[in-house]
């Protein structure tokens, strides 16, 4: 529905149509359709934890012309698994004396770029990347995260554009100033609170400030916008993508009006961290929304379905090939779905 003001005499009719539309969606078990907000697709960024971090790497590399920065929390390098689930342990740094090989991943990226399966790697030289590995992480270990940093260095993300935080005694989690488990936990909901230099560590803020070049305003004291659910099915058929029927979008008040040209950040949950596993906690407790409020930023929270595909019972994003051999290319079913959502958000209301 358009956000333009309706004539007073037509308000009752418009309201009836809206209620009827929502009633029809509810009757069919579907969330409302994703609307257009006139978002500025030139300022899209992405971040994620664990499998969401692997997917954030894939999106940044495959769509480097679109994404101007990425935040990677406990994730390995691009195309590490080489379309083989048996390499997953190496890519998570869990195989002694066999860390991921960044040179092989760089070679894979160069070959994919030459074949036009991903964007030119030239764009990466202008991008900003934040990488985090907790010293108490027992799931994605330092060799994997080290390899991610080395991969980005070798494709041209260097100097102050690449930040590596690897000294916080955190477990496998996205870190907040106060919410979630104790810092060293490696447990659901994979959200933990840690202190750095005597202050709570705001990882969402650290990511967003870095990928946007330190140009953001301080976060709001509390979210004042709306976390809305929407129907993912037009973008993500279950059998092809393993994605859920419903996802979330955080809409600050500043982004409700037509022509707001809001930025967009894509925040990707980890394994066992989708709404199937933890409800809306990833969308409400990780801290992105407070920064979105004060910086005119839509936050897109796509969702994986734990039960959609038997090969993915933990609700992970695909970084080893369970959706098919194109999982790390622009033709990836999951990446195509996310890019279609971004395109919808950029459309005028």
Residue 153 pLDDT grade (very low, low, confident, very high; cuts 50, 70, 90): very high
- Whether residue 114 is contained in a domain is answered as yes
pLDDT higher than 50, residue 130: yes
Is 15 inside any structural domain? no
Residue 38 lies in a domain: yes
Annotated active-site residue 50? The verdict is: yes
Lowest mean pLDDT among 32-46, 54-68, 105-119, 316-330: 32-46
Among candidate residues 43, 63, 64, 137, the one labeled active-site is: 137
Query: What burial class does residue 200 get, using C-beta atoms within 10 Å of its C-beta: 0-12 exposed, 13-18 middle, 19+ buried?
Result: middle
Q: How many CB atoms lie within 10 A of CB 179?
A: 17
Amino acid 15: pLDDT: 32
Query: Is there a domain that residue 248 lies in?
Result: yes
**Which residue has 């709306």 as its token pair?**
226
Flag whether 194 is in a domain. yes
Do the bridges between strand 128-132 and strand 162-165 make them parallel or antiparallel, or are there none, so unpaired? parallel
Mean pLDDT of the 254-278 span: 93
Six token digits for residue 218: 């301080």
User: Whole domain around residue 105: which residue ranges?
Assistant: 31-346
Instruction: From residue 71, give the alpha-carbon distance in Å to each of 90, 106, 123, 165.
Output: 21, 19, 17, 11
Residue 12 has pLDDT above 50, yes or no: no
In the predicted model, is pLDDT for residue 74 greater than 80?
yes
202 is an active site residue? no
Average model confidence (pLDDT) across the chain: 91
Average pLDDT over residues 225-243: 97
Over range 237-257, report the average pLDDT: 95
Task: Classify residue 2: in a domain, yes or no.
Answer: no
Domain count, the chain: 1
What count of residues does the chain have? 349
The residue-averaged pLDDT of 29-33 equals: 85
Residue 215 domain-assigned? yes
Question: Which member of 47, 50, 192, 332 is catalytic?
Answer: 50
Per residue in 79-122, pLDDT (tens digit) is: 999 999 999 999 999 999 999 999 999 999 999 999 999 999 99
Q: Decide if 229 is catalytic.
A: no
Q: Which residues pair with 227 in a beta bridge?
A: 250
Report whether pLDDT(177) > 70. yes
Which pLDDT does position 43 carry in this prediction?
83
User: Is the backbone peptide bond immediately before 126 cis, with ω within 30 degrees of 0?
Assistant: no
* Residues 6+ away with beta carbon under 8 Å from 53: 47, 72, 73, 74, 75, 76, 140, 268, 270
| Mean pLDDT within 305-330 | 96
Mean pLDDT for 30-35 is 92
Read off the pLDDT of each residue in 310-330 and give the average, rounded to a whole number: 97
Q: Is residue 26 part of a domain?
A: no
pLDDT of residue 10: 32
- Name the active-site residue from 43, 172, 193, 265: 172
């Amino acid at each position: 529905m358009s956000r333009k003001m309706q004539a007073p005499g037509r308000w009752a009719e418009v309201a009836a149509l809206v209620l009827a539309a929502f009633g029809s969606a509810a009757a069919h078990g579907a969330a409302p359709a994703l609307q257009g907000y006139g978002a500025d697709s030139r300022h899209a960024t992405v971040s994620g934890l664990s499998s969401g971090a692997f997917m954030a790497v894939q999106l940044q590399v495959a769509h480097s012309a679109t994404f101007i920065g990425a935040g990677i929390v406990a994730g390995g390098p691009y195309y590490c698994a080489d379309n083989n689930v048996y390499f997953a342990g190496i890519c998570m740094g869990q195989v002694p004396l066999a860390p991921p090989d960044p040179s092989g991943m760089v070679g894979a990226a160069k070959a994919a770029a030459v074949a036009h399966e991903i964007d030119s790697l030239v764009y990466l030289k202008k991008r900003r990347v934040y990488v985090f590995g907790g010293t108490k992480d027992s799931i994605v270990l330092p060799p994997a995260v080290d390899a991610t940093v080395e991969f980005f260095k070798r494709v041209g993300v260097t100097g102050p554009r690449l930040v590596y935080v690897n000294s916080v005694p955190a477990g496998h989690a996205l870190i907040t100033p106060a919410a979630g488990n104790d810092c060293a936990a490696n447990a659901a909901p994979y959200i933990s609170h840690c202190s750095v230099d005597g202050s709570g560590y705001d990882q969402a803020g650290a990511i967003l400030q870095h990928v946007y070049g330190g140009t953001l305003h301080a976060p709001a004291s509390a979210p004042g916008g709306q976390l809305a659910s929407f129907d993912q099915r037009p973008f993500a058929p279950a059998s092809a993508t393993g994605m859920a029927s419903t996802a979330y979008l955080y809409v600050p008040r500043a982004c409700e009006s037509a022509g707001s040209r809001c930025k967009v950040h894509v925040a990707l949950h980890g394994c066992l961290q989708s709404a199937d596993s933890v409800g809306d906690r990833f969308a409400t407790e990780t801290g992105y929304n407070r920064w979105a409020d004060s910086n005119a930023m839509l936050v897109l929270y796509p969702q994986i379905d734990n039960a959609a595909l038997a090969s993915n019972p933990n609700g992970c994003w695909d970084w080893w090939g369970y959706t098919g051999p194109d999982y790390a290319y622009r033709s990836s079913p999951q990446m195509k779905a996310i890019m279609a959502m971004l395109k919808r958000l950029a459309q005028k209301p």
